């Protein structure tokens, strides 16, 4: 545990209240005013991003979970009750069946957002603990390196792995980020199913916007 009890409970308070859906942004001209810090959450389709956002915010359906990966192509803005930051749910990437035009539109939106958003404090890249880092994750890490946006890796669905397997994926993700300039060295482990690792992730997010 890298956080004090005070930091953990302050973060719990920030996340505990009612969350507001602010807006969905299909392209950059619809971006909301850059009037507070932003935290983005990214990851491959089906990585468990919606489940994690719902678990963090204690809402069953704030972020829409979906069995049709690659469906949401918008940046979705959410805000906690104290209005201290925006949580930005980025569209999932790397869906194999997505048509080329959709992939291109996605890449443009994400690249422009990452490059241009002065208020973006940190991006969390979710990685399915069963699969580890994929080439598309490297691609987004390269985009973030280029935009000089700090990012942190979060393993999801850790309940599906045995301890030994989890240690292996930890080591491989740590090795994978070691060569990236903007990556945080600490990899967080979470399970939305078992509600594990959520307190640390909340504290990390609140720490990043302070």
Q: How far apart are CB 178 and ligand GDP at their closest, in Å? A: 25
Q: How far apart are CB 103 and ligand GDP at their closest, in Å? A: 16
Q: By the 8 A CB rule, do 63 and 53 touch?
A: yes
Q: How far apart are CB 35 and ligand GDP at their closest, in Å? A: 27
Choice between 16 and 161, CB closer to ligand GDP: 161
Q: What are phi and psi of 188, to 5 degrees?
A: -95, 145
Choice between 7 and 52, CB closer to ligand GDP: 52
Task: Measure CA 40 to chain center.
Answer: 5
Choice between 165 and 210, CB closer to ligand GDP: 165
Residues that bind ligand GDP (CB under 6 A): 43, 45-51, 65-66, 69, 92, 156-157, 159-160, 191-193
Q: How far apart are CB 45 and ligand GDP at their closest, in Å? A: 5
Q: How far apart are CB 173 and ligand GDP at their closest, in Å? A: 16
Choice between 7 and 90, CB closer to ligand GDP: 90
What is the rounded CA–CA span in Å between residue 59 and residue 194?
A: 15
Choice between 64 and 108, CB closer to ligand GDP: 64
């Amino acid at each position: 545990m890298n956080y004090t009890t005070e930091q953990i409970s302050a973060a719990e308070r920030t996340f505990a209240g009612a969350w507001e859906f602010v807006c969905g942004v299909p392209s950059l001209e619809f971006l909301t005013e850059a009037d507070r810090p932003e935290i983005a959450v990214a990851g491959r389709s089906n990585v468990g991003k919606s489940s994690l956002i719902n678990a963090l915010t204690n809402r069953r359906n704030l972020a829409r979970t979906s069995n049709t990966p690659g469906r949401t192509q918008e940046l979705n803005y959410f805000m906690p009750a104290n209005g201290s930051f925006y949580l930005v749910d980025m569209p999932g990437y790397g869906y194999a069946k997505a048509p080329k035009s959709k992939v291109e539109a996605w890449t443009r939106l994400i690249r422009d957002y990452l490059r241009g958003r002065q208020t973006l404090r940190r991006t969390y890249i979710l990685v399915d603990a069963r699969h580890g880092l994929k080439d598309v994750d490297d691609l987004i890490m390269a985009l973030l390196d280029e935009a000089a946006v700090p990012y942190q890796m979060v393993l999801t669905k850790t309940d599906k792995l045995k301890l030994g397997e989890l240690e292996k994926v930890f080591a491989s993700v740590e090795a994978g980020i070691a060569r990236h300039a903007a990556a945080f060295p600490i990899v967080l482990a979470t399970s939305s199913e078992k509600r594990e690792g959520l307190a640390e992730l909340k504290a990390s997010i609140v720490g990043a916007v302070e």
